[in-house]
């Protein structure tokens, strides 16, 4: 059943991508419906009788699911139709990934309650930084369009023209980065303090831990630079994208290598 729901969610996301901007109410309604169908599909797919299904595909799918919710909520306060042109195609692909790469089932009967909270906060952190990365890319394109004084009215040009002013976009970006940084801090802290309880072993500085801590340091540097040095513009965008890429490597990248390249199904 969840396979058909994943396909239905993907089709709805595709519809949301091509709907004209003037049909705002229809776009909003279709987005909400796609989000609900996608959520139901993930719930049925992840919660199995024998444990919790994990993998890079379901992680990306969950991240985009939360990112769609963030876009939908922000779009009610600001005109972010340009963001829709990036989020919806990505959500379309993310909704299909669990069908192609089902991952593996991890037993959770003997896991502590802290494990579930750790996973939930980690997904929220990754999702928040994902939507922040989308914002950063749009701001870079928006700034480039202003500097080149381009007046092209194609699909991309029309999307950029519908975005708020750069200053407003920047405020939204740093608001999301602050939220994501707090969630990422909780993720890293819980992984360090409760490592043995969460994973059944003392903390090991493997690739996931190193990349997660490096991502935290990049975002901490960005926020400190913003506070004390007034960092903005290209510097802020570079740090945002570098931090997001490092965070992606911390779990999604490593799981992709394990599952797709090495064909291993470790939890």
- pLDDT of residue 85 exceeding 70, the answer is yes
Mean pLDDT, residues 81-104 taken together: 87
- pLDDT of residue 262 exceeding 60, the answer is no
The pLDDT value recorded for residue 267 is: 46
Q: What is the pTM of this model?
A: 0.79
Q: In terms of Cα–Cα distance, which of 176, 51, 178 is closest to 119?
A: 51
**Number of continuous H segments (helices) and E segments (strands) in the chain:** 11, 3
The pLDDT value recorded for residue 260 is: 56
Site of tokens 């299909």 = 96
Which percentage of the chain shows pLDDT scores above 90?
A: 27
Out of 19-33, 111-125, 152-166, least confident range = 152-166
The pLDDT value recorded for residue 263 is: 55
The pLDDT value recorded for residue 167 is: 85
The residues with which 105 forms a beta bridge, in sequence order, are 53
Conformational region of residue 55, where left means phi above 0, alpha means psi within -120 to 50, and beta covers everything else: left
- pLDDT of residue 26 exceeding 60, the answer is yes
Which position has the higher pLDDT, 210 or 178? Answer: 178
- pLDDT of residue 178 exceeding 90, the answer is yes
At 158, list the tokens.
């029309």
Mean model confidence pLDDT for the chain: 81
Which position has the higher pLDDT, 175 or 24? Answer: 175
DSSP 121-147: HHHHHHHHHHHHHHHHHHHHHHHHHHH
Q: In terms of Cα–Cα distance, which of 32, 34, 48, 47 is closest to 6?
A: 34
- pLDDT bin (cut points 50, 70, 90) of residue 257 is low
Q: What is the pLDDT of residues 42-52, one digit of tens each?
A: 988 887 776 67
Alpha-carbon gap, residue 188 to 165, rounded angstroms: 34
Alpha-carbon gap, residue 41 to 43, rounded angstroms: 6
Q: In terms of Cα–Cα distance, which of 198, 225, 214 is closest to 248?
A: 214
């Amino acid at each position: 059943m969840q396979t058909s729901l994943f396909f239905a969610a993907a089709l709805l996301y595709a519809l949301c991508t091509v709907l004209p901007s003037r049909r705002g109410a229809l776009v909003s309604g279709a987005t909400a419906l796609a989000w609900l169908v996608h959520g139901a599909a993930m719930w049925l797919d992840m919660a199995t009788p024998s444990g919790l299904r994990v993998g890079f595909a379901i992680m990306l799918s969950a991240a985009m699911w939360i990112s769609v919710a963030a876009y939908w909520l922000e779009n009610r306060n600001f005109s972010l139709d340009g963001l829709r042109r990036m989020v919806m195609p990505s959500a379309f692909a993310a909704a299909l990934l669990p069908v192609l790469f089902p991952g593996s089932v991890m037993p959770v009967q003997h896991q502590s309650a802290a494990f579930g909270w750790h996973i939930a906060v980690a997904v929220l952190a990754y999702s928040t930084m994902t939507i922040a990365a989308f914002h950063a890319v749009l701001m870079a394109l928006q700034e480039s369009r202003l500097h080149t004084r381009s007046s092209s009215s194609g699909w991309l040009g029309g999307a950029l023209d519908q975005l708020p002013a750069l200053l407003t976009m920047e405020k939204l970006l740093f608001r999301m980065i602050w939220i994501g940084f707090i969630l990422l801090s909780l993720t890293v802290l819980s992984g360090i303090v409760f490592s043995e309880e969460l994973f059944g072993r003392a903390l090991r500085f493997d690739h996931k831990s190193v990349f997660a801590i490096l991502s935290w340091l990049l975002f901490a540097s960005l926020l400190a630079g913003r506070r004390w040095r007034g960092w903005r513009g290209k510097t802020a965008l570079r740090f945002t994208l570098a931090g997001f890429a490092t965070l992606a490597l911390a779990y999604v990248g490593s799981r992709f290598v394990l599952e797709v390249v090495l064909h291993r199904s470790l939890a």
